[in-house]
Structure 1
Amino acid sequence: MFGDMMGMMGKLKETQQKVEDTKKRLDTVLIDEASSDGKLKITLTANRTIKSIQVDDSLLNDKEELEDYLILTLNKAIEKATSVNEAELAAVAKEGMPDIPGMDMFK
């Protein structure tokens, strides 16, 4: 019984390390998003850190238009990054789940 418990604890610790490694790797996964007309381009990591914003000069003449572009494009980029982030972390967590009787509903 204790051997099983120690094995599960070891597997959980290993999974925790894999999750941390995945989080670090997601800092290097870049998500690109652009407005529908290409006037605004945003790059962020899968951990949702903004890396660059490129703004077409035509947007600099209208503050409200630029703000609208930023809101729409940033939200789309964050949504994509969140999807990638959650999928990657869920895959690692699922892989590391120990075989606990009655808990197979999580697999």
Structure 2
Amino acid sequence: MFGDMMGMMNKIKEAQEKVEATKERMKTVMIDESSSDGLLKVTVNANREIKSINVADELMDDKEQLEDYLILTLNKALSRASEINEREVAAAAKDGMPDIPGLDMFK
């Protein structure tokens, strides 16, 4: 009985380590997003950190337009980053979890 419990605890610890490793790897997964006309380009990582913003010179003349472009483009990039992050972390957690009857939160 205690052997089974120790085995499960080890599996849970392994799952936590896999999740942490996946979160660390997400720092290296880059998502590029551009405005529809290509005047604004942003890069974020899968941990939802902004890595770069490239603004075309013609957007610099219109502050309001630039703000709109930033909001739309960053939101698209961050949404994609969230999807990737959630999918990868859930997969890592599910892969490492022990088979405990009734505990199917990652399915």
Once the two structures are superposed, what CA deviation does each residue of 1:11-30 show, in whole Å capped at 9, x if it has no partner? Answer: 00011111111111110000
TM-score for the superposition, normalised by structure 1: 0.95
Residue in structure 1 matched with residue 21 of structure 2 by the alignment: 21
Distance 1:32 1:106 in 2: 29
Superposed displacement of residue 39, structure 1: 0.4
Distance 1:104 1:44 in 2: 32
Superposed displacement of residue 100, structure 1: 1.0
Distance 1:27 1:95 in 2: 20
Are 1:36 and 2:9 counterparts?
no
Superposed displacement of residue 105, structure 1: 6.2
Residue in structure 2 matched with residue 52 of structure 1 by the alignment: 52
Identity of aligned residues (%): 70
Once the two structures are superposed, what CA deviation does each residue of 1:53-73 show, in whole Å capped at 9, x if it has no partner? Answer: 000001000000000000000
The one-letter code sitting in structure 1 at the alignment partner of 2:13 is K
The one-letter code sitting in structure 1 at the alignment partner of 2:20 is E
Distance 1:105 1:21 in 2: 21
Coordinate RMSD, CA, aligned: 1.1
Residues 90 and 106, structure 2, Cα contact 8 Å, conserved in 1: no
Distance 2:106 2:55 in 1: 44
Superposed displacement of residue 35, structure 1: 0.3
Aligned residues: 107
Residue in structure 2 matched with residue 71 of structure 1 by the alignment: 71
TM-score for the superposition, normalised by structure 2: 0.95
